[in-house]
Structure 1
């Protein structure tokens, strides 16, 4: 397991370097070294420091946040189809940010993203718990789909009413890593760090919760506190990721399943592996988005959807058969 983490970290470093070197114009490796350690203020060095390097780091950070949030959601709900984007949490954060820009204009509104994600998470849980049978995986997915459509429609309505808001957020709403500077990322990074650390401390508890709440409580686990802590971690991670890069889909769905294939069902290993694999997936997706039609680029959310949508269909069909 430890060897796998080391190899994954090495692969992540390679993806990070490739993200800096490749793009609309390829950059020589020695130029990157000089820009970091021998900065001379030239245009090439400025591009590396202010555009390429922040974007590469952002892909790793956002990918890790989305993957861990998805892993926690699946473990907490015992639902293999659960993820913050599938359950409407990411869309809730996006709607809150669109409302903030609509009312106040451009700015940093991370708090709005947290509030939107929290309200969406509570709403989908409440909707999925209605009825005699209580919360079930199927009802949770249906509630998430309904909430996602509703919030997406409200977001579209706001954008239709305000051309200014549409112009400012059109590319971001498709999921994009472009345009963020290091200062913006550093302002959000503490929230992601808290969410990741909190998640890693919940590894054992989530493993027990994935066996069933009755089993977990029988083993002495205080399930209510675990749910609260896990929900806070998901809100911090999802809200931060959406604030930085928009509602990027399917990373939180795909990565945990790939990780389980490698390490099994123990969340003490699933969560750290998800950090690495999430960063790798989004880095590769962003690199593909920049290279496929260069010198132009696609939103990275389109690339993750190309991979994630077929995976979701396969996953849904396999679980229905079971």
Structure 2
């Protein structure tokens, strides 16, 4: 699947060479160009659709010649644009975080929602609502990072305690246990402090409440993290082949894993602080991308960002279309696809044992 690692022998011993990877750069280029075009069209379509349908020409006019006196322009600028742009950015964040985790851990079931990051972030946000009401969003996003880090640390710690070390199955079981614990604690805090209404949005998952203030803080973090992931993509590819191979090719594996973990925490923490505990985006998209472009993370990571943005954008649009004027939770809609996909992967991995 990934090809064999070539070696060369000289008088000093054996030195590893770059492995030949199965990759499709042409397919990746088509996905990037075509995906961005489709993404831009989807953004315009999603902005135009809502309780008050707005023509695409009005959407375009509001972008180029915004008039605060026009009601449609106000709806587009203040309500729909941050929601739609937030959906695209958050989908890209979850997808890239999932791709990094799967490559770094060599675990095809890795995803921020399955490994405790999302539930950890929601738990810390519940504590913030309970003890520090009215906390500015800047601090919420910072605490969301901390919660994601605590969740990931507990999952990896619990999974490593068993005899035989950390395996993909133990990692998933530990993730399920920690996520269940954190969710129960969050619900208990919500009931005791009567903040269930405030946390309901984060439990269900959705982009309806996204504001420009959140995006202004989130864009630099997410943009820098995705750029960092692209710069680290070659090292992630080598890690996905095995730590011994990566070390043999001169990679500082511990440093790469540390940087990759920080990038995942930034991406997952930022996304959860806006959209809530939406799972499975980081599980589904990297697998679809690998199928389309091969196993080279130089192509997987940028293509995952585009496809992840498209998935959450269309999920949000469909969620508004199912039962208007009410909205179906985006998290539940994606779970309808994600749960069967997860079960398929789990069964496939079990056969491979």
TM-score norm. by structure 2 comes to 0.89
Q: How far apart, in 2, do the equivalents of 1:121 and 1:167 lie?
A: 27
How far does the alpha carbon of each residue in 1:48-75 deviate from its partner, in whole angstroms, 9 at most, with x for none?
0011111110010000000000001111
Asked if the contact 1:75/1:209 (under 8 Å) is kept, the reply is yes
Q: CA deviation at 1:18?
A: 1.4
Q: CA deviation at 1:298?
A: 1.4
Partner of 1:306: 336
Q: CA deviation at 1:203?
A: 0.6
Q: How far apart, in 2, do the equivalents of 1:257 and 1:269 lie?
A: 13
Partner of 2:67: 40
Partner of 2:151: 120
Partner of 1:51: 79
Partner of 2:7: none
Asked if the contact 2:91/2:310 (under 8 Å) is kept, the reply is yes
Please say which of residues 13-22 and 49-58 is displaced more in the overlay.
13-22
Q: How far apart, in 1, do the equivalents of 2:59 and 2:184 lie?
A: 43
Alignment of 1:195-214 (within 5 A): 195-214=225-244
Counterpart of 2:57 (choices 11, 27, 30) is: 30
Partner of 2:202: 172
Asked if the contact 1:59/1:286 (under 8 Å) is kept, the reply is yes
Aligned: 1:160 with 2:191: yes
Please say which of residues 13-22 and 249-258 is displaced more in the overlay.
13-22
Aligned: 1:77 with 2:105: yes
How far does the alpha carbon of each residue in 1:138-175 deviate from its partner, in whole angstroms, 9 at most, with x for none?
11111111111111110111111122x21122123211
Greater than 4 Å deviation, 4+ residue runs: none
Asked if the contact 2:44/2:59 (under 8 Å) is kept, the reply is no
Please say which of residues 281-290 and 194-203 is displaced more in the overlay.
194-203
Q: How far apart, in 2, do the equivalents of 1:296 and 1:93 lie?
A: 27
Counterpart of 1:233 (choices 253, 263, 281) is: 263
Counterpart of 2:324 (choices 294, 300, 305) is: 294
Partner of 2:126: 98
TM-score norm. by structure 1 comes to 0.97
Q: How far apart, in 2, do the equivalents of 1:233 and 1:10 lie?
A: 27
Q: How far apart, in 2, do the equivalents of 1:320 and 1:254 lie?
A: 18
State the secondary structure of the residue aligned to 2:317: helix
Q: How far apart, in 1, do the equivalents of 2:315 and 2:209 lie?
A: 17
Aligned length: 321
Partner of 1:3: 30
Q: How far apart, in 2, do the equivalents of 1:226 and 1:241 lie?
A: 23
Structure 1: stretches of 5+ with no match in the other structure: none
Q: How far apart, in 1, do the equivalents of 2:168 and 2:248 lie?
A: 22
Counterpart of 1:275 (choices 291, 297, 305) is: 305
How far does the alpha carbon of each residue in 1:274-307 deviate from its partner, in whole angstroms, 9 at most, with x for none?
1000000000100011111011111211111111
Q: How far apart, in 1, do the equivalents of 2:44 and 2:65 lie?
A: 18
Please say which of residues 72-81 and 171-180 is displaced more in the overlay.
171-180
- Root-mean-square deviation (CA, aligned residues, Å) is 1.1
Structure showing the higher helix proportion among its residues: 1
Partner of 2:174: 143
Asked if the contact 2:97/2:268 (under 8 Å) is kept, the reply is yes
Structure 2: stretches of 5+ with no match in the other structure: 1-27
Q: CA deviation at 1:95?
A: 0.7
Q: How far apart, in 1, do the equivalents of 2:284 and 2:114 lie?
A: 11
Q: CA deviation at 1:213?
A: 0.9
Tell me which structure has the larger Cα radius of gyration: 2
Q: How far apart, in 1, do the equivalents of 2:41 and 2:340 lie?
A: 27
Q: CA deviation at 1:17?
A: 1.4
Aligned: 1:255 with 2:282: no
